Amino acid sequence: MRFTSSYAVFRYGPGEKVLAKARWFNREGKPEAAEQEYRSALAGDPELRAGWLELFELLRQHGRYADALEVARRAEAHFGPDAAMPLAITGAALAELGRTREAVEALEAAIERDGNLALAWHELAYAAFRAGEYSRALLVLDRAFTLEPHTDTLLLRGRILREAGQYDAAEVAFEGAHQSAEHDPPRREAAREILATRRAAALGGKRPRDFTARERAFAELGAVLLDGGAEILSGGDHGAIVGLLAGSLGAFTRLAGTLGWPVTACCGVHAEDEPLAVAVGRAIGAQLLPAAAVDAEDRPLLVTVHGDGEEWQKQLARLDRWKSGYTFALTQPADTTDPADVIGTLRCSGNAAAIHPLAARALKAPAGLPVGDDEIAALARHPLARWHTRGQPSEIV
């Protein structure tokens, strides 16, 4: 979730030219280089409020909440105890770390110092949301929106309403965010949230807190999740991970047969994915081809051990443009914004390099029979499943 980045960030005020290189690296998806440039700029001019906010948000976006808190503490030390902005981002970091009571205290202190700081009100609403206090969060958000109407405030309102099970109201908020967005990233985010809200509403009127792990993945991503578990599997639990991956492979080949996908070519995203592509292609009767050799007429199945990174995004975007083909990721990060049509599990920690050896073992293991095949098939057949609606987020108007 992006919140602080919308408040006075990327507005080129006096003295902010020094941030241009860091901003460029950030836009180009180079967070390490961007962080280095931000820290260098702040070392040269610690009065740059935009620099503190943007560095904080960069770390937050990549889940580095402890590092974000350290930046907020440094900002507090520089600007002094009477400054509201450092307290606001301190509260934001504490909320992300699950320390909601401390977060609320910091944010209320920021508001005491500057009652017109929209960022502080916005983050207080987020902290209340994280604590499950939806009514309070909405009331606080009204104040933030009054001070500074913004797309991110509407996005947060929609998320709060959706978690409360108020799907119609949530969709209205997300549509408002989509219409008010001035740039492509928040517009795309709003479009994704509209679809997520529609999928959540289609699951029998249940609130998100009552969703199974598979239902939540379907609502949030449009993906069919084969693994029904929720707890993260530690990297050291190799036996459990291998068993889970083997079971997911078996479940996927059964599902592809149940759905009758007319796949003629199976492709790995990376060279390391070829063993998985060979195994899946053999199981479903599809020819093994390199991804670069297929076109829309092949209705290709794109497979990968770990669905993440630039090449994965590139290949997924190609299928979306074609509105043809299917995707399967054996593992994928839980916070992905580029989901596969079918995901084996969201629970494996670690990077692709750590997962590939375990996937190789899983290919040699007997496929298990995971519980929940009926739920998997029902979600896969749903008309709002991603494979049915490929390319739809860009068509929302």
Supply the DSSP symbol for 234.
P
Mark 293-302 as b/e (b = at least 16 C-beta within 10 Å): ebeeebbbbb
Amino acid (one-letter) located at 119: L
Contact 357, 242 (CB under 8 A): no
What is the radius of gyration, based on Cα positions, of the chain?
Answer: 22
| Amino acid (1-letter code) at residue 68 | A
Task: Provide the pLDDT for residue 10.
Answer: 44
- pLDDT level of residue 5 (50, 70, 90 thresholds): very low
**What's residue 182's pLDDT?**
83
**DSSP assignment of 33-68:** HHHHHHHHHHHH-TT-HHHHHHHHHHHHHTT-HHHH
Q: Which domains does the chain have, with CATH numbers?
A: 4-149 (1.25.40.10), 218-395 (3.40.50)
Mean pLDDT of 97-116: 97
**Taking the alpha carbons of 232, 234, 237, 241 in that order, is the dihedral positive or negative?**
positive
Structure tokens at 320: 């979306």
Q: Reply yes or no on whether the pLDDT at 6 is more than 80.
A: no
What confidence tier does 391 reach under pLDDT thresholds 50, 70, 90?
A: low
Quote the CA–CA distance of 56 and 267 in Å, as a whole number: 39
pLDDT at position 371 over 70: no
Which residues are 331's β-sheet partners? 306, 345
204, 184 in Cβ contact below 8 A?
Answer: no
User: Six-digit token pair at 74?
Assistant: 């440094």
pTM: 0.86
Give percent of the chain with pLDDT exceeding 90. 77
Q: Six-digit token pair at 342?
A: 């079918």
- Tell me, what's the pLDDT at 154? 95
Euclidean distance between CA atoms 381 and 76, whole angstroms: 52
